[in-house]
Amino acid sequence: MQKSIDRCVDDVPIYFAPLACEPVSFDILDTKFDMILGMSWLRSADHPVNFHDRTVHIRDRNGVLVPCTVATPHTSIAYHVVFVARICDAIARNDVEEMGFVFLHALPSPDGPAASPPDPRISHLLNEYRDVFEAPTRTVPDRPIRHGITLEAGVVPPRGCIYGMSEEELEVLCAQLDDLLDKGWIRPSCSPYGAPVLFVRKKNKDLRLCIGYRKLNAQTVKNVGPLPRIDDLLERLGGATYFSKLDLKSGYHLIEIQPQERYKTAFKTRYGYFEWVVMPFGLTNAPTTFQAVMTTEFRDLLDRSVLIYLDDILVYSRTLDEHIVHLRIVLDRLRLAKYKANLDKCEFAKQELEYLGHFVTPKDIRPLADKIQAIVDWPEPHCTTDVRSFMGLAGYYQRFVESYSKVAAPLSRLQSMKVPFEFDDAARGAFTILKAAMQAAPALRIYDPTLPTLPTQVTTDTSGYGIGAVLEQCHKDGWHPVE
């Protein structure tokens, strides 16, 4: 529902208490409320609010802050949070006389980019490269990089067992083995190695085939090839207004294993003994191999119009015309290299999208709301492993929290196995403060090197716990921290 403003009345005297009066300007419109005090009034430093005590402070004619108690809602106004199980029980007992559902929908901000139909040039481009979005069906062509498995000296080949499976799992296993054999991605084996096979349930309830390479990985010499720093990737987006995200389909299976190393990937099943021809999931050095392959394929485009983190490709441009050219180049490169993309997980020519756990817009970068909510809802840790799990997620968004190292120091100390676990008041305080800081995390502006006229400043800090710095740029609405 929308209401139109009829008129405006300035400096209306509002009495919050016998001596606490303040002039407030009001827009007049037809609502059932006597008055609505907006955020511009509430966030003023002259009106401290204490939600616990239900008080708001107003200055009297002498400038002294006077606490005013906010009345509680009428008893007829109430809300209840009800779980699905309780609703089912209530319905079963015929306790529910009337029930309704409320669906909340977040509206786009007025100053954000308006939703518009896709440009016909994008549809034409996707139709032209529709073969890129088909499912891979055969072995991959010869590539300059193949996956190798170098083992430590003197190790004994690890052997696993064959786990018992349900009828559903056996049916899925048989179908997947047939599919992998038809594609030429696995072949029969008589290797001394033998990893176990099991299934895990996906979010959509489908079964995912998993191979237990834990023992093999423990014997493997680790590859020192780096994965890109996510903050380094995101800071390249300054000035970009259009984004496309491509997700490669079966990306690991499009890279071959070195022929002399294939026997090490052998796995046992009830229906035979097989080894991989292409790179499977679960090998310790697979991510660095895949990143090296993608970096080699797109090196001339990196940090110019393309960002790549494993199988996530982001194409970014300053204008839509430029973006269509960049997108065509990337799709053509994928076609020539025989890579396939998952159309259902791709997004094209967007001005807002999610990328690597962040919400990216032309103006700024924000953490994803569901990830922040997961941090806020995190239960109090009871052991070192719990602390490490929490700090792993919180640390992912640490650049959004001012003085993160200082705040998190008591928790960081508890991550060491050498320190006795004691979740004391200091750790509990840091846990609470970190949650609150994540909830209030600001959006970070993207540094744009093409705007040298914007004043830029660096603020540094140091303490006994660590050092830190914040880069800021001054825009029309003031100073903003920069990614």
Q: How many alpha carbons lie under 13 Å from residue 414 in its C-beta half-sphere?
A: 26
| Residue 50 CB-density burial (10 A; 0-12 exposed, 13-18 middle, 19+ buried) | exposed
- Tens-digit pLDDT profile for the chain (483 aa)? 455 555 666 666 766 555 566 676 666 666 666 666 676 666 676 667 776 666 777 776 666 777 776 665 554 444 455 555 556 666 666 665 655 555 444 444 444 444 455 788 999 999 999 999 988 877 676 788 999 999 999 999 998 889 999 999 999 999 999 999 999 999 999 999 999 999 998 877 888 899 999 999 999 999 888 899 998 899 899 889 999 999 998 889 989 999 999 999 999 999 999 999 999 999 999 999 999 999 999 999 999 999 999 999 999 999 999 999 999 999 999 999 999 999 989 999 999 999 999 999 998 899 998 899 999 999 999 999 999 999 999 999 988 888 888 889 999 999 988 888 999 999 999 999 999 989 888 878 777 766 666 777 787 877 766 677 777 777 777 777 776
Q: Which pLDDT belongs to residue 21?
A: 65
φ and ψ of 294, to 5 deg: -70, -40
Q: Which residues contact 109 (CB under 8 A, 6 or more apart)?
A: none
> Which DSSP string corresponds to 328-378?
HHHHHHHHHTT--B-GGG-EEEESSEEETTEEE-SSEEEE-HHHHHHHHTP
Q: Kindly state the greatest CA–CA separation across the chain.
A: 91
CB-CB neighbours of 395 under 10 Å: 16
pTM score of the predicted model = 0.69
333 close to 354: Cβ distance less than 8 angstroms: no
> Measuring CA to CA, how many Å separate 250 from each of 175, 275, 278?
17, 17, 11
The predicted pLDDT at position 265 comes to 96
Residue 78 to residue 400: CA distance in whole angstroms: 36
Asked if 149 and 233 touch (Cβ cutoff 8 Å), the reply is no
What is residue 432's DSSP assignment? H
- CATH 3.10.10.10 residue ranges of the chain are 120-362
Q: Return phi, psi of residue 280, to 5°.
A: -90, 170
Amino acid at 214: R
Residue 188 Ramachandran class (φ > 0 left, ψ -120 to 50 alpha, else beta):
beta
Report the top-level CATH class of 120-362: alpha beta
